[in-house]
Amino acid sequence: MDKPFSQACENNKGPILEFLKVRLSSHRHLLEIGSGTGQHAVFMAPQLPDLIWQCSDMPGNHQGINAWIEEYPATNLKRPLSFTIGQDPWPAGDFDAVFTANTTHIMQVEEARLMLQMVADNLPLGGVFCQYGPFNIDGQYTSDSNQVFDQHLKAQGCGGIRDIQELKDWLEETDLIFMQRVQMPANNQLLVWQKG
Protein backbone atom coordinates (compact mmCIF):
# COMPACT_ATOMS: atom_id res chain seq x y z
CA MET A 1 0.00 0.00 0.00
CA ASP A 2 0.99 3.64 -0.33
CA LYS A 3 2.14 4.83 3.07
CA PRO A 4 0.07 7.62 4.65
CA PHE A 5 1.98 10.88 4.87
CA SER A 6 1.72 13.91 7.15
CA GLN A 7 3.70 17.01 6.27
CA ALA A 8 3.24 18.26 9.85
CA CYS A 9 5.09 15.16 11.11
CA GLU A 10 7.98 15.87 8.77
CA ASN A 11 8.10 19.49 9.94
CA ASN A 12 8.06 18.84 13.69
CA LYS A 13 9.81 15.48 14.14
CA GLY A 14 13.31 16.94 14.48
CA PRO A 15 12.56 19.48 17.22
CA ILE A 16 10.45 16.94 19.14
CA LEU A 17 13.21 14.32 18.96
CA GLU A 18 15.88 16.70 20.25
CA PHE A 19 13.73 17.40 23.30
CA LEU A 20 12.83 13.75 23.91
CA LYS A 21 16.47 12.69 23.73
CA VAL A 22 17.16 14.81 26.82
CA ARG A 23 13.87 14.44 28.69
CA LEU A 24 13.52 10.67 28.29
CA SER A 25 17.18 9.71 28.68
CA SER A 26 16.46 7.69 31.84
CA HIS A 27 13.21 6.10 30.62
CA ARG A 28 12.98 2.68 29.03
CA HIS A 29 9.47 1.90 27.72
CA LEU A 30 7.31 4.45 25.91
CA LEU A 31 3.70 4.21 24.80
CA GLU A 32 2.79 6.48 21.89
CA ILE A 33 -0.93 7.29 21.99
CA GLY A 34 -2.25 7.93 18.50
CA SER A 35 0.69 6.97 16.31
CA GLY A 36 -1.21 8.30 13.28
CA THR A 37 0.76 7.71 10.11
CA GLY A 38 3.66 6.10 12.00
CA GLN A 39 6.18 8.72 10.83
CA HIS A 40 7.13 9.91 14.32
CA ALA A 41 7.71 6.35 15.50
CA VAL A 42 9.98 5.24 12.64
CA PHE A 43 11.99 8.47 12.86
CA MET A 44 12.41 8.64 16.62
CA ALA A 45 12.76 5.03 17.75
CA PRO A 46 16.12 4.34 16.03
CA GLN A 47 17.54 7.51 17.56
CA LEU A 48 16.37 6.54 21.06
CA PRO A 49 17.97 3.07 21.12
CA ASP A 50 17.68 2.61 24.89
CA LEU A 51 13.91 3.12 24.75
CA ILE A 52 11.30 0.61 23.56
CA TRP A 53 8.80 2.59 21.42
CA GLN A 54 5.32 1.02 21.47
CA CYS A 55 2.91 2.37 18.87
CA SER A 56 -0.84 2.43 19.45
CA ASP A 57 -3.85 3.74 17.60
CA MET A 58 -7.36 2.96 16.44
CA PRO A 59 -7.39 -0.22 14.31
CA GLY A 60 -8.16 1.72 11.13
CA ASN A 61 -4.71 3.34 11.26
CA HIS A 62 -2.70 0.16 11.85
CA GLN A 63 -2.16 -0.72 8.19
CA GLY A 64 -0.50 2.62 7.49
CA ILE A 65 1.65 2.50 10.62
CA ASN A 66 2.76 -1.04 9.77
CA ALA A 67 3.65 0.03 6.23
CA TRP A 68 6.07 2.60 7.65
CA ILE A 69 7.51 0.09 10.14
CA GLU A 70 8.04 -2.48 7.37
CA GLU A 71 10.03 0.04 5.34
CA TYR A 72 11.96 1.46 8.32
CA PRO A 73 12.18 -1.32 10.92
CA ALA A 74 14.02 -0.90 14.23
CA THR A 75 14.68 -3.47 16.93
CA ASN A 76 13.15 -1.21 19.61
CA LEU A 77 10.06 -0.25 17.57
CA LYS A 78 6.88 -2.24 18.25
CA ARG A 79 3.90 -2.64 15.94
CA PRO A 80 0.72 -0.84 17.00
CA LEU A 81 -1.58 -1.98 19.75
CA SER A 82 -5.31 -1.30 19.39
CA PHE A 83 -6.09 1.61 21.68
CA THR A 84 -9.10 3.87 21.24
CA ILE A 85 -9.67 6.32 24.09
CA GLY A 86 -13.11 5.72 25.59
CA GLN A 87 -13.36 2.17 24.24
CA ASP A 88 -10.25 0.23 25.23
CA PRO A 89 -8.52 -0.32 28.57
CA TRP A 90 -4.97 0.90 29.09
CA PRO A 91 -2.60 -1.28 27.05
CA ALA A 92 -0.62 -3.97 28.85
CA GLY A 93 3.02 -3.06 29.43
CA ASP A 94 5.32 -1.46 31.98
CA PHE A 95 5.32 1.98 30.36
CA ASP A 96 7.36 4.62 32.21
CA ALA A 97 6.84 7.24 29.48
CA VAL A 98 3.93 8.31 27.26
CA PHE A 99 4.06 10.48 24.14
CA THR A 100 1.20 11.85 22.09
CA ALA A 101 1.26 14.33 19.21
CA ASN A 102 -1.64 16.21 17.63
CA THR A 103 -4.34 14.11 19.29
CA THR A 104 -5.77 16.26 22.08
CA HIS A 105 -7.47 18.79 19.78
CA ILE A 106 -8.92 16.02 17.57
CA MET A 107 -10.59 14.24 20.50
CA GLN A 108 -13.88 15.26 22.01
CA VAL A 109 -13.46 17.08 25.32
CA GLU A 110 -14.47 14.06 27.40
CA GLU A 111 -12.02 11.85 25.45
CA ALA A 112 -9.15 14.30 25.96
CA ARG A 113 -9.93 14.43 29.67
CA LEU A 114 -10.13 10.62 29.86
CA MET A 115 -6.76 10.30 28.11
CA LEU A 116 -5.08 12.47 30.73
CA GLN A 117 -6.82 10.59 33.55
CA MET A 118 -5.67 7.25 32.13
CA VAL A 119 -2.09 8.50 31.87
CA ALA A 120 -2.27 9.76 35.46
CA ASP A 121 -3.68 6.43 36.67
CA ASN A 122 -1.22 4.19 34.83
CA LEU A 123 2.18 5.91 34.78
CA PRO A 124 4.51 4.76 37.57
CA LEU A 125 6.07 7.17 40.04
CA GLY A 126 8.55 9.31 38.10
CA GLY A 127 6.91 8.48 34.78
CA VAL A 128 6.74 11.24 32.16
CA PHE A 129 3.98 12.28 29.75
CA CYS A 130 4.97 14.44 26.76
CA GLN A 131 1.98 16.02 25.00
CA TYR A 132 2.55 17.86 21.69
CA GLY A 133 0.17 20.08 19.77
CA PRO A 134 -1.52 23.48 19.67
CA PHE A 135 -2.74 24.72 23.04
CA ASN A 136 -4.28 27.95 24.24
CA ILE A 137 -2.63 29.90 27.07
CA ASP A 138 -4.70 31.78 29.65
CA GLY A 139 -7.77 31.62 27.44
CA GLN A 140 -6.01 33.06 24.40
CA TYR A 141 -4.97 31.60 21.07
CA THR A 142 -1.22 31.79 20.50
CA SER A 143 -1.70 32.86 16.88
CA ASP A 144 -4.35 33.89 14.37
CA SER A 145 -3.66 30.69 12.44
CA ASN A 146 -4.46 28.60 15.52
CA GLN A 147 -7.78 30.40 15.89
CA VAL A 148 -8.65 29.62 12.26
CA PHE A 149 -7.50 26.01 12.77
CA ASP A 150 -9.68 25.68 15.87
CA GLN A 151 -12.73 26.91 13.98
CA HIS A 152 -11.97 24.36 11.25
CA LEU A 153 -11.60 21.55 13.79
CA LYS A 154 -14.92 22.32 15.44
CA ALA A 155 -16.65 22.53 12.04
CA GLN A 156 -15.33 19.03 11.35
CA GLY A 157 -16.81 17.76 14.64
CA CYS A 158 -13.55 17.65 16.62
CA GLY A 159 -13.25 18.87 20.21
CA GLY A 160 -10.86 21.69 19.35
CA ILE A 161 -7.81 23.30 20.92
CA ARG A 162 -7.69 22.97 24.70
CA ASP A 163 -6.35 25.52 27.15
CA ILE A 164 -3.36 24.49 29.27
CA GLN A 165 -5.10 25.67 32.43
CA GLU A 166 -8.06 23.45 31.58
CA LEU A 167 -5.73 20.44 31.43
CA LYS A 168 -4.18 21.40 34.77
CA ASP A 169 -7.66 21.68 36.30
CA TRP A 170 -8.57 18.20 35.05
CA LEU A 171 -5.49 16.77 36.75
CA GLU A 172 -5.72 18.79 39.96
CA GLU A 173 -6.69 15.79 42.10
CA THR A 174 -4.19 13.37 40.52
CA ASP A 175 -0.46 12.82 40.99
CA LEU A 176 0.33 13.94 37.43
CA ILE A 177 2.11 17.27 37.81
CA PHE A 178 2.70 19.90 35.14
CA MET A 179 6.46 20.41 34.76
CA GLN A 180 7.13 22.62 31.73
CA ARG A 181 5.91 24.05 28.45
CA VAL A 182 8.31 24.09 25.50
CA GLN A 183 7.69 26.29 22.44
CA MET A 184 7.69 24.26 19.22
CA PRO A 185 7.43 25.10 15.49
CA ALA A 186 4.25 26.44 13.89
CA ASN A 187 2.70 27.77 17.11
CA ASN A 188 2.71 24.37 18.81
CA GLN A 189 3.75 23.49 22.35
CA LEU A 190 5.22 20.45 24.05
CA LEU A 191 3.77 19.98 27.52
CA VAL A 192 5.62 17.83 30.03
CA TRP A 193 3.87 16.14 32.94
CA GLN A 194 5.44 13.89 35.57
CA LYS A 195 3.90 11.41 37.99
CA GLY A 196 4.51 12.06 41.64
| pTM tops 0.95, yes or no | yes
User: Is the pLDDT assigned to residue 40 strictly greater than 90?
Assistant: yes
- The yes or no reply on domain 7-195 and CATH 1.10.3720.10 is no
Within 48-175, strands assigned E span 52-57, 77-82, 97-101, 128-133
Gap between the Cα atoms of 124 and 196, Å rounded? 8
The model's pLDDT over 136-172, given as tens digits with 9 standing for 90+, comes to 999 999 999 999 999 999 999 999 999 999 999 999 9
Residue 20 pLDDT level (bands cut at 50, 70, 90): very high
Q: Give the closest residue to 85 by CA, choosing from 51, 52, 119, 128.
A: 119
Sheet holding 97-101, edge to edge: 77-82, 52-57, 29-33, 97-101, 128-133, 188-195, 176-184
- Residues facing residue 18 across a β-bridge: none
Report the pLDDT value the prediction gives residue 2, as an integer from 0 to 100. Answer: 86
Q: What is the pLDDT of residue 149?
A: 97
Q: Provide the pLDDT confidence category of residue 39 given band limits of 50, 70 and 90.
A: very high
Q: Where are the domains of the chain?
A: 7-195
Q: What is the pLDDT of residues 108-126, one digit of tens each?
A: 999 999 999 999 999 999 9
- Range 100-107 average pLDDT: 98
Q: What percent of the chain has pLDDT over 90?
A: 99
DSSP label at residue 194: E
Return the amino acid letter for 50: D
Q: Does the pLDDT at position 1 exceed 80?
A: no
Tell me whether residue 165 is exposed, middle or buried, using C-beta atoms within 10 angstroms of its C-beta: 0 to 12, 13 to 18, 19 or more: middle
- Mean pLDDT, range 30-52, rounded to an integer: 98
